[in-house]
Amino acid sequence: MTIFVTGGAGFIGSEFIRQIVGTARIINFDKLTYAGNLDNLKEAAKDPDYSLAVGDVCDPQALEAAMPEDCDAVVHFAAESHVDRSIVGAAEFVRTNVLGTQMMLEVARLRRVKRFLHISTDEVGGDMPPDGWFKECDPLEASSPYAASKGAAELFVRAAARTFGMNTLITRTSNNYGPYQFPEKLLPLAISNVLEDRPIPVYGDGLQVRDWVHVTDNCRALRAVLEHGRPGETYHIGGGNPLPNIEVLRTLLKILGKPESLMTRVTDRPGHDRRYAVDFTKTTRELGWRPEISFSDGLAQTIRWYQDNAEWVRRCRSGEYRKYYEEMYGDREATAKAL
């Protein structure tokens, strides 16, 4: 089986590759933006059936060159993924997340790929009321430019299934956490700051609710959907345990024995959704998947990982991880061009 993974050097894509390496031929197509980190794939990259193609999902020629004729499945992770960055500048989100998804669909159709799994987010449903749970059939009501771009991408995936009969699947996952997450999202930022006794920025009142799912559980679900999901369907993946940010941060500080005074209120994010919560009963019913890692175990394990991998965080923060080209090819000019 040949699987074409986009965005495999990112947080979730690299966990997916770590899980499937050795079971399939993997082509990891990644532009290696600031979020793409080859340090995440050091072990997986040793497998002879793994290869990396550096390229942009918006570039159909690069995609055609990298995607083999006998490609069985595409798993499309590549995206701009951080809400705060989408507020500062949405254009790159529209380009990569919307145009990039359409280019992926076109090249996958040309190659007659048998399965196209598109990775989406619970954020496309927007704010959930206090007792609301986002279902697969609910309308798309995105609040941020990031969520809007992911919602638009979903519509192109649906259109490809309907118009061209492509065998597509969509997953919408809640907030992932775990090892190798770039320290700009809440948990890795908070953990790495606290480990250095630096403050944690808490947006607004900190009572916004997120449904945390461990990245290992998420990627198990993605594999189940890829293998057994019904063509054209959407599947939700969640942790089943929505929590206010402030409670998550209190637990984190308690585990590390640090004072709550490290939480520092800062101006709220514009358009900040108050609550996300996904109903994933369909995924459990049809595929037998449910999360296995409790939030308390997963958080403790994640904190340990960041403690044990201070060098990974240091390389992220210093930008050293981006010297990949130089390290691989020893070519300063190529590095400069690629960056």
- Report the catalytic residues: 122-123, 146
Smallest separation, CB 258 to ligand NAD (Å)? 24
Q: Would you state the structure tokens that stand for residue 285, as one six-digit string?
A: 């019913």
Beta strands in the chain (DSSP E): 2-6, 25-30, 50-54, 73-76, 115-121, 168-173, 176-177, 200-203, 209-211, 213-214, 234-237, 242-244, 263-266
* Eight-class DSSP state of 80: -
Q: Residue with CB nearest ligand NAD? A: 10
**Considering beta carbons, is residue 29 or 77 the nearer one to ligand TYD?**
77
Taking the least distance from each CB to ligand TYD, the nearer of 54 and 83 is: 83
Q: Please report how close the Cβ of residue 259 comes to ligand NAD at its closest, in angstroms.
A: 28
3-state helix, strand, coil in the chain (%, to 5): 45, 20, 35
35 binds, among ligand TYD, ligand NAD, none (CB under 5 to 8 A by kind): ligand NAD
13 binds, among ligand NAD, ligand TYD, none (CB under 5 to 8 A by kind): ligand NAD
Q: Which is nearer to ligand NAD, 40 or 262 (CB)?
A: 40
Task: Return the closest-CA partner of residue 36 out of 314, 321, 317, 306.
Answer: 321
* C-beta closer to ligand NAD: residue 110 or 265: 110
Shortest Cβ distance from residue 298 to ligand NAD (Å)?
A: 13
Binding-site partner at residue 202 among ligand TYD, ligand NAD, none, CB < 5 to 8 Å by type: ligand TYD
CA–CA separation, 275 and 221 (whole Å):
23
User: Between vectors from CA 153 to CA 244 and to CA 113, what angle results, nearest 5°?
Assistant: 120
Which residues touch 294 (CB under 8 Å, ≥6 apart)?
A: 241
- From the list ligand NAD, ligand TYD, none, partner contacted by residue 58 (C-beta under 5 to 8 A by kind): ligand NAD
Within 8 A by CB and 6+ apart from 310, the residues are 195
Q: Is the dihedral of CA 220, 244, 294, 10 positive or negative?
A: positive
Inter-CA distances, 184 with 2, 118, 264, Å: 32, 24, 16
- From ligand NAD, ligand TYD, none, interface partner of 208 (C-beta below 5 to 8 A by class): ligand TYD
Nearer to ligand NAD, 143 or 176 (CB): 176
Which parts of this chain interact with ligand TYD (CB under 6 A)?
83, 175, 185-186, 189, 201-203, 208, 210, 245, 269
Name the site residues for ligand NAD (rule: CB under 6 A): 6-7, 9-13, 30-33, 35-36, 56-58, 77-81, 96, 100, 119, 121, 150, 173, 175-176, 182
